[in-house]
Amino acid sequence: MARHRRSDDWGFPRWRGYGSTRQAEPVRKCDRHGCDEPGDRPAPKSPNSRERWHFCEAHAAEYNRNWNYFEGLTAEEIAAREAAEQRDAGAFKQANYYGWGGPGDGSRGRDEMRALDVLELEADADFEAVKAAYRRLAKANHPDLKPGDAEAATRFQAIQAAYEVLRKSEERRNAA
């Protein structure tokens, strides 16, 4: 009876051959003349074409910077394509409110956190605290109380804008 030989494979790809031989696989070079970097970033040669250039990272960035997505389209075709893309991206709009990756605990967006900083409040302040801080800071920086003070007028405008951001977000929360 023949003995069964154990495999040296162990399931790790680096211990197996990539093909029938153990030779190194050829690497495609960048299609930009004179570049010897690996061409691992495909780019279309023309709109709606299956043919591709293969660039390195630097030349792919250069190519994309000069790429005109709407080249050769009429104004109506551009508007139709833009409308289709907006329609397809609607699912991302609902995630916009949460300010993914922004500061805070996720209950407030980035703009709301900036508004709270302008009003000198903590991230967990409720709307009553927002109103009180707005009244206090608006009274202290109002242009009628400090005529001719451009810095106070600028602070007053920032305070008003911050309050509007927080008021609208509170209305959205209560409407939902």
Q: Could you tell me the residue ranges of all domains in the chain?
A: 26-88, 95-175
Tokens linked to 131: 């109103």
DSSP letter at 146 equals S
Please choose, from the candidates 86, 53, 46, the residue with its C-alpha nearest in 3D space to the C-alpha of residue 68.
46
| For helices 110-118 and 150-175, angle between their N-to-C axes, nearest 10 degrees | 140
Collapsed DSSP state (helix, strand, coil) of residue 131: helix
Give me the tens of pLDDT residue by residue for the chain, a chain 176 residues long.
566 666 655 555 555 554 555 566 678 899 888 999 988 888 888 767 788 888 898 888 888 777 777 778 888 988 888 888 777 666 655 555 554 454 555 677 788 888 999 999 988 888 999 999 999 999 999 988 888 888 988 999 999 999 999 999 889 888 86
Please choose, from the candidates 24, 31, 85, 20, the residue with its C-alpha nearest in 3D space to the C-alpha of residue 62.
31
CATH top-level class for 95-175?
A: mainly alpha
| For helices 150-175 and 127-141, angle between their N-to-C axes, nearest 10 degrees | 160
Q: What is the CA radius of gyration of the chain?
A: 30
Tokens linked to 25: 């696989």
Length of the chain: 176
pTM of the model: 0.42
